[in-house]
Amino acid sequence: MQVDFHKMHGAGNDFVVLDARKRALPLAPARIAALADRRRGIGFDQLVLLQTDEPDATGAADVRVRFFNPDGSEAGACGNASRCVGRLLSAELHRPAIRLRTAAGLLEAVADTDGTVTVDMGAPRFGWDTVPLAREGDTLRVVLDGLPPELPPGAALSMGNPHCSFFLPTAAAVDPVLVGPVVERHPMFPERVNAGFAVVEAPDRLRLRVWERGAGLTLACGSGACAAAVNAHRLGLCGRAVTVELDGGVLGIEWRASDDHVLMSGPAVLSFSGRVELEEFAA
């Protein structure tokens, strides 16, 4: 089955976008993993699947969007990809505002003429059982046994996907490549977790690296930037509006006081488009 795709990225977090609105696409986890291969496949941090919105859905969405990690696991949210879909559909529908139905809820993306896209990522969830954690506890102080002593307690929340943010004195204090996989699969997180390693550089500026669940270290993580910004404010380390500097670029995050929603702004780039024969990849 020949399928067109768009290769996109948001601050270097890269995606393959497939359109299943007109026909279902056979995408078993093994095929997603094969397509994700950076040498034998197309390569991506996430595969983004566009589908028509459920007919009985409450509140009209322009598109239903699903996100899959290179290991084939599905994620409820992906901030950088949501901006990319916003840009794609804004060009298709010739209007700036696009409504995305995701597992995390109905999101609105607004594409600016300068290439920036802002997504309302909805409200963060702080309950231990919504992150989720394996047992009841304070999500603002998550202590993980078996981790190096230089790793402070984490702050956990859900943006529709699970995050745990660690605030470090310097970027060198912890190596995300060494510690990230241990946090991702720690028994405290029954659905695994995205691990963010942040340094507060100013009350309005964070430096962040994220070891993503199911994907590893990426150049940027949009929902991770939202999580770090919200957790920094919860801990009294930052204001409600911050810039988050990641390896691949800078995102603007505002945790809006009026409705508790998190607004995330940043780039959304179409690198190239192509066509792929799905049958060439593991069934």
The binding site comprises 13, 46, 69, 79-80, 161, 194, 212-213, 222-223
Which one from 164, 221, 226, 238 is the annotated catalytic residue? Answer: 221
When binding is defined by CB under 6 A, the residue of 86, 176, 214, 266 that contacts ligand API is 214
C-alpha span between 223 and 238 (Å, rounded): 17
Smallest distance, ligand API to C-beta of residue 22, A? 25
The separation between the first and the last C-alpha atoms of the chain, rounded to the nearest angstrom, is 12
Residue choice 14, 41, 53, 67 for contact with ligand API (CB under 6 A) = 67
| Contact between 223 and ligand API per CB under 6 A | yes
Please count the other Cβ atoms lying within 10 Å of the Cβ belonging to residue 25. Answer: 14
Rounded alpha-carbon distances, angstroms, from residue 29 to 19, 33, 41, 68 = 17, 6, 14, 9
If binding is defined by CB under 6 A, does position 212 make contact with ligand API?
yes
According to CB under 6 A, which one of 17, 35, 199, 221 is a site residue for ligand API?
221
Report the alpha-carbon distance of residue 101 to residue 239 in Å, rounded. 29
Binding mask 142-181 for ligand API (x = CB under 6 A): -------------------x--------------------
Q: Which residues form the catalytic set?
A: 78, 221
Per CB under 6 A, residues contacting ligand API are 13, 45-46, 67, 69, 75, 77-80, 161, 194, 212-215, 221-224
